[in-house]
Structure 1
Amino acid sequence: MDMNAYLSMFIDESNDHLQSLNENLLRLENEPEDLSIVQVIFRSAHTLKGMSATMGFEDLASLTHEMENVLDLVRNSKLKMDNFIFDTLFKGLDALESMVQDIVGGGTGKADVTAIVQALQSIVKGDYSKPAESAGAAGNTAAGGGSGGLDEFQTSIMQQSMESGHNVYHIQVTVREDCVLKAARAYMVFDVLERGGEVIKSEPSVEQLEQEKFDREFIVFYISQLSAEELQTQIQTVSEIESASVTLLDAESLSLLAKPSLPASPQPQEIEASAEAVGQVAAARSQSAATAAPAAVSRTIRVDIDRLDTLMNLFSELLIDRVRLEQLAGEIRRNDLIETVEHMARVSGDLQNIVLKLRMVPVDSVFNRFPRMVRDLAKSLDKKIDLVIAGAETELDRTVIDEIGDPLVHLIRNSLDHGIEQVADRTAAGKPETGTVHLRAYHSGNHVFIEIEDDGKGINRDTVLKIAIKNGVIAPEQADSMSDEEVYMLLFAAGFSTADKISDISGRGVGLDVVKSKISSLGGHVSVTSTLGKGTRFSIQLPLTLSIISAMLIKLGSEKYAVPLSSIVETAIIKRESIRNIHGNRMIEFRGAIIPILSLSRILESPDFSEDQEEESEVVIIRKGEKWAAVIVDDFIGQSEIVLKSLGNYLTGIEAVSGATILGDGQVALIIDPNALIK
């Protein structure tokens, strides 16, 4: 059998399963007791393994098989999820994604995943050290319980810490003989240690210390940048501590303390029985849920995007002919022709909606990759960060969806890395420990807006100007006359941050010129607002790039123009005396509010229409978000479905014009961009 014929299908379905695995593992990390999520993850892994084996990608199949073994134990309540298992499974997913990308690039999908496979096998055998449960503020960093030396996992962490320049300590703490609350004193020692480093292991274990199952001494293995003297002083500030012996370890002494990997301590008989009972109950529930709500059968097919482009172009031509037929039927005035054309209009209208929906994809397909990215980056930066996603159901054209992912990745990484402060800095500034990044999408007129907003430290205007002048982006005399928005847009200048890496203005600017050029190539633009100490918001405006839109046709002298109907609030007629001049700007009162009035003939420099000769003027009220404006036009022609055509490479950057359309009589009408008018 020629497997190449199925390769495209394998790649598409593998990416779907990997995305599902990522999303559901993140869900499981928040709800580790929910076995129904484990069932979904297991099914995805099982399917991916079967597909990979069938296609002959053995490395993919074998790694997925090892992950499946771990998940099988979890779903049968024989294994409890912990941080080490989650991290190992996520590493496995990253390796699987790399293999699939290698296959996409024409490779064999082979990779050296020995370390991940060994870690997964050690989990199945119980041959690894489980992170200890929380002991108040101390427990979440204390890994491992029991005594008798360090296991391989703990030794590896400490060796890596030594190589990166951290100090590794063996600390022996003795409480006074007359101490009444030994567990409380141990807790206070852990609390002190956590402020300056990370506890790797304690002897006795955290659970035993909590239950006061120790005499007077306990030992802690600890990683920190502090000196031994500083540590000793800090520990002895805790009351009722008799002594604290702090010993700096080197590689040789660490190897002596290491022990061979041993199976995890067997659980007491009653705990095993309890786990079995929980497993039976969970299995019964999942079986009953499966009976009550069988899984929906997939009724989708995959279609090449080029075929959709061809379909859209053909329908565009059909629409132009339909409008021409409607004009001819109106002129000839034959009832049977009019009825036929009206029926054709209704059918083609339904067909138009279907064709448009075929190309539209929710931005969720881009947004769903970011929760995993935020989780991993927050861990590596040692920050607490929440990602809040809104408007993921907002739809965009497929061609825009395919291109917008990389700019969003760059902006979100920028907010996490340089916008959100460290926990200590946020606390000092009176902010919550956990920073928040909002990722939202919404429609406004014929555009989609995507915003990335963080509650970090914001952008320092003065520092931006200083570096912009230093790098020759602007001249010193320009600085004083620039608004805040203009200053922030300097971050997108190509030469803004090439000389020095910016750190004191949130590191923004590194590579943002690439983001701007990508968004501009999609016909959109990006803006920045920021408040020092409170946060920054990047706003990206993108065209829907719909080939067919509803529009209001208008006249300016002998020229015809189209205004997208989605941006129009209403049409009206105003008298010349109702126009007021406020601070040099023409305004009118509309629905209890004062809004600006714009002359389309002046903006477009229309030669044969002058509104000054008119006592009354027709206006179109347009809206962008919360901003409104009135646009003076010559006359209204009526509502129509129009085909959006590009102006080509030679007519780019025309103010207030987003494209053109061919009308039923063969004339070309320019399409007005209401968002540009309000801006």
Structure 2
Amino acid sequence: MDMNAYLSMFIDESNDHLQALNENLLQLENDPEDLSIVQTIFRSAHTLKGMSATMGFEDLASLTHEMENVLDLVRNNKLKMDEFIFDTLFKGLDALEAMVQDIVGGGSGKADVTSIVASLVSIVKGDYKAADSAGNESAAKADSAAPSTSAGKPAAMLLDEFQASVLKQSIESGLAVFHITVALREDCMLKSVRAYMVFDLIEQNGEIVKSDPSVQDLEQGSFDQTFTVITISNLPADDLQAKIGDISEIESVQVEALNMESLARMTADGKQRAAEQAKAQPAAGDPAPEKAEAARQIAASRNQTAAAGAAVSKTIRVDIDRLDSLMNLFSELLIDRVRLEQLASEVKRTDLTETVEHMARVSNDLQNIVLKLRMVPVESVFNRFPRMVRDLAKSLDKKIDLVITGADTELDRTVIDEIGDPLVHLLRNSLDHGIEPVDKRIAAGKPETGTVHLRAYHSGNNVFIEVEDDGGGINHEKVLDKAIKNGIVTKEQAKTMSVNEMNMLIFAPGFSTADVISDISGRGVGLDVVKSKITSLGGNVTIESALGKGTKFSVELPLTLSIISAMLIKLGSEKYAIPLSSIAETAVIKQEQVRNIHGAQMIEYRNNVIPLVSLSRVLNCPDYDERGEEETEIVVIRKGEKLAAVTVDEFIGQSEIVLKSLGSYLTNVESISGATILGDGQVALIIDPNSLIK
């Protein structure tokens, strides 16, 4: 079978499982006693192992198998989680992620994981540290308490009153009741499929009353190589055993007939085992009522998850390239729509105008749908940060909580792909420079655990992402001293700087206040990259900080980069587009309002003095010069808190435009961010307002 056809599906699903493993392992680290989380982790690891083995990635499958062995001991109460086990499992996840990324790059997915495997094996054996002797004793006790089939009688299964009654009536009526134990081969790839085939065979020849593990666990493959079934069958024991044994990858089958005596004994043993487990729970320090309540809550949450799963099953995976093709085709349709609207206005035929108007309404709806198809929750970026914060906090010897809100906020995929690295830099900065060490926090009267908030929310046509910490804040004196020392500002400039301007100094290239160079920060690389990347996305970043209280970075991003609303303007015979998101307002000014201050043109605007930029001079327009005009149209553009006025020749109007790149031949053209095709077929360049304000 050609596995290449399934490679993309394997990569997607592997990444999903690895992300789920990371999230659930972090959750388990906060609540090591919650075995329901261990079950979820075990299922994800087991599924990943099966997928890897099926695809032929043996190193992936073997490492996952060793991790699965550890998790199996934990979920069966034979091993208690501790720091060493958590660290080893996280190292295993890192190795698995590296293997999957190697496969993405066309590699074989092989890696040297002998040290991790050795650690996992030592955990399973219980000799990874001497202090685990007590844990080994408890594991031995659990082994001795576990049901056994070697004594010649079937393992005890806890039957409810209804099940016990049905089996008794069946035996009294002369029907054959069997206890079947099925063991699968160790190299069985798809355990859940084999279990289904066994169940299907049994149900064709009778009725299944009870299975252990449950049907749900069997369907998900969440069981060891053995499972048991109690059935009322139409076949004799030998025939049933032979038929089940004929199924491939079955190691052994035991079919034992039950009578009234063996049924009563098995039911009594099952009840006694359940009672012993119930007694053991309070002894471990957890009140039984609380456990029962927790179990009810877990069951309720699983029911909700199952209900949600039914709704999610209506979704499908779509290749990103297809969405990009759809977007490009719709862009062409939008250009033709504008052209048709222009032709209809010239021809002035009622039926043509009505048809074009209807087409415009339909294409507007289609545009909304196409844009929503490309929208991705920022959760896909945020999900990788809890693990990063956990590792950095350990390396910095700090206690830090990461609080994520608004992870369901949606952004265009093109923005999502680019925003990850800037957020990594901001978070690392907050962890290293923002949050103080534990002793300093206690001395300052703060909780020893620092908090970093990562928020996302919509506001108009923009998305805001905030990184806020409750650390020491920005020390403006230290920042100014460093900036003067590095030649970023002069002493005279430093005296007149506002608080906001001092905050923004940390975005200067090569700027760093770290006294010691580390792997985390202190090399003068980071925040300048953040600012340039966010600016290139048409966004903006601002800082609010209070010394001793904390710092908040606020990143403003456009919802989409593909189709934008713009103001079309003319400069002589040439047409240009300015994104509406950057326009504060439009106005007309007279020449006498223009002031020359230190060789630069300035105008008074709403009680502020702002610079006046001549767009024709910036772009070297050959057939337009605003000199000699008594009145000039201006566009007031905004970049964060800064404003500037741009002179234009004439306003054409507002329009939805499709953003096209200038291609590989025209890169880094100053003041131009792209181009668009207008309704009359002309190409209009799109102005980059951020480059006009410096």
Using structure 1 for the length normalisation, give the TM-score: 0.64
Give the drift of 1:312: 2.5
Partner of 2:184: none
Partner of 2:124: 121
Amino acid at match of 1:109: K
Give the drift of 1:299: 3.7
In structure 2, what is the Cα distance between the partners aligned to 1:392 and 1:661?
33
Is the Cα contact below 8 Å between 1:468 and 1:474 reproduced in 2?
yes
Counterpart of 2:656 in 1: which secondary structure?
A: strand
2:614 pairs with 1:613:
no
Partner of 2:372: 357
Deviations 1:285-344 (A, max 9, x none): 656665674433534444443333333233222221221111111111222322332232
Are the structure 2 counterparts of residues 273 and 419 from structure 1 closer, same or farther at C-alpha, using a change threshold of 3 Å? closer
Amino acid at match of 1:613: E
2:333 pairs with 1:333:
no
Amino acid at match of 1:52: S
Partner of 2:321: 306
Counterpart of 1:14 in 2: which secondary structure?
A: helix
Once the two structures are superposed, the pairs formed by residues 539-550 of structure 1 within 5 Å of their partners are 540=555, 546-550=561-565
Partner of 1:644: 659
Partner of 1:12: 12
In structure 2, what is the Cα distance between the partners aligned to 1:51 and 1:628?
56
Alignment match of 1:414 (pick from 426, 429, 435): 429
Amino acid at match of 1:58: E
2:398 pairs with 1:371:
no
Is the Cα contact below 8 Å between 1:84 and 1:130 reproduced in 2?
no
Is the Cα contact below 8 Å between 1:578 and 1:588 reproduced in 2?
no
In structure 2, what is the Cα distance between the partners aligned to 1:306 and 1:122?
48
In structure 2, what is the Cα distance between the partners aligned to 1:513 and 1:62?
43
2:103 pairs with 1:107:
no
Are the structure 2 counterparts of residues 596 and 74 from structure 1 closer, same or farther at C-alpha, using a change threshold of 3 Å? farther
- The farther-off stretch of 328-337 and 66-75 is 66-75
Partner of 1:654: 670
Are the structure 2 counterparts of residues 430 and 301 from structure 1 closer, same or farther at C-alpha, using a change threshold of 3 Å? same
2:272 pairs with 1:271:
no
Are the structure 2 counterparts of residues 299 and 50 from structure 1 closer, same or farther at C-alpha, using a change threshold of 3 Å? farther
Are the structure 2 counterparts of residues 435 and 145 from structure 1 closer, same or farther at C-alpha, using a change threshold of 3 Å? farther
Give the drift of 1:664: 0.7
Is the Cα contact below 8 Å between 2:403 and 2:451 reproduced in 1?
yes
In structure 2, what is the Cα distance between the partners aligned to 1:79 and 1:499?
43
Is the Cα contact below 8 Å between 1:580 and 1:588 reproduced in 2?
no
Deviations 1:407-454 (A, max 9, x none): 432332233123322111223334442223333445667665544343
In structure 2, what is the Cα distance between the partners aligned to 1:65 and 1:51?
12
Is the Cα contact below 8 Å between 1:92 and 1:116 reproduced in 2?
no
Are the structure 2 counterparts of residues 319 and 427 from structure 1 closer, same or farther at C-alpha, using a change threshold of 3 Å? same
Partner of 1:96: 96
Is the Cα contact below 8 Å between 1:579 and 1:588 reproduced in 2?
no
Is the Cα contact below 8 Å between 1:595 and 1:629 reproduced in 2?
no
Partner of 2:410: 395
In structure 2, what is the Cα distance between the partners aligned to 1:641 and 1:84?
57
Give the drift of 1:630: 8.0
Counterpart of 2:101 in 1: which secondary structure?
A: helix
In structure 2, what is the Cα distance between the partners aligned to 1:577 and 1:478?
33
In structure 1, what is the Cα distance between the partners aligned to 2:125 and 2:319?
43
Are the structure 2 counterparts of residues 347 and 596 from structure 1 closer, same or farther at C-alpha, using a change threshold of 3 Å? farther
2:332 pairs with 1:323:
no
In structure 2, what is the Cα distance between the partners aligned to 1:121 and 1:309?
48
Once the two structures are superposed, the pairs formed by residues 488-503 of structure 1 within 5 Å of their partners are 501=516
Is the Cα contact below 8 Å between 2:538 and 2:558 reproduced in 1?
yes
Deviations 1:491-543 (A, max 9, x none): 5666667998559x983724556556655665667666655555455555655
Is the Cα contact below 8 Å between 1:88 and 1:119 reproduced in 2?
no
Q: Which runs of 5+ in 2 are unaligned?
A: 139-275
Q: Which runs of 5+ in 1 are unaligned?
A: 133-142, 147-266
Give the drift of 1:50: 1.7
Are the structure 2 counterparts of residues 417 and 319 from structure 1 closer, same or farther at C-alpha, using a change threshold of 3 Å? same
In structure 1, what is the Cα distance between the partners aligned to 2:538 and 2:476?
28
2:58 pairs with 1:58:
yes
In structure 2, what is the Cα distance between the partners aligned to 1:529 and 1:131?
53
Amino acid at match of 1:270: K
Q: How many residues align?
A: 538
Is the Cα contact below 8 Å between 1:88 and 1:120 reproduced in 2?
no
In structure 2, what is the Cα distance between the partners aligned to 1:433 and 1:478?
40
Q: Aligned-residue CA RMSD in angstroms?
A: 5.0
In structure 1, what is the Cα distance between the partners aligned to 2:552 and 2:296?
49
Amino acid at match of 1:44: S
Is the Cα contact below 8 Å between 2:479 and 2:513 reproduced in 1?
no
Give the drift of 1:128: 7.4
Once the two structures are superposed, the pairs formed by residues 219-618 of structure 1 within 5 Å of their partners are 270-272=279-281, 290=302, 293-294=306-307, 295-296=309-310, 297-441=312-456, 450-460=465-475, 483=497, 501=516, 507=522, 509-510=524-525, 533-538=548-553, 540=555, 546-555=561-570, 559-566=574-581, 586-587=603-604, 607-609=624-626, 613-614=630-631
Once the two structures are superposed, the pairs formed by residues 620-639 of structure 1 within 5 Å of their partners are 636-639=651-654
Is the Cα contact below 8 Å between 2:510 and 2:524 reproduced in 1?
no
Counterpart of 1:666 in 2: which secondary structure?
A: coil
Using structure 2 for the length normalisation, give the TM-score: 0.63
Partner of 2:268: none
Is the Cα contact below 8 Å between 2:100 and 2:109 reproduced in 1?
no
Are the structure 2 counterparts of residues 450 and 269 from structure 1 closer, same or farther at C-alpha, using a change threshold of 3 Å? closer
Partner of 2:40: 40
Partner of 2:206: none
Amino acid at match of 2:120: V
Are the structure 2 counterparts of residues 632 and 560 from structure 1 closer, same or farther at C-alpha, using a change threshold of 3 Å? same
In structure 1, what is the Cα distance between the partners aligned to 2:17 and 2:495?
54
Identity of aligned residues (%): 70
Is the Cα contact below 8 Å between 1:556 and 1:609 reproduced in 2?
no
In structure 2, what is the Cα distance between the partners aligned to 1:502 and 1:21?
33
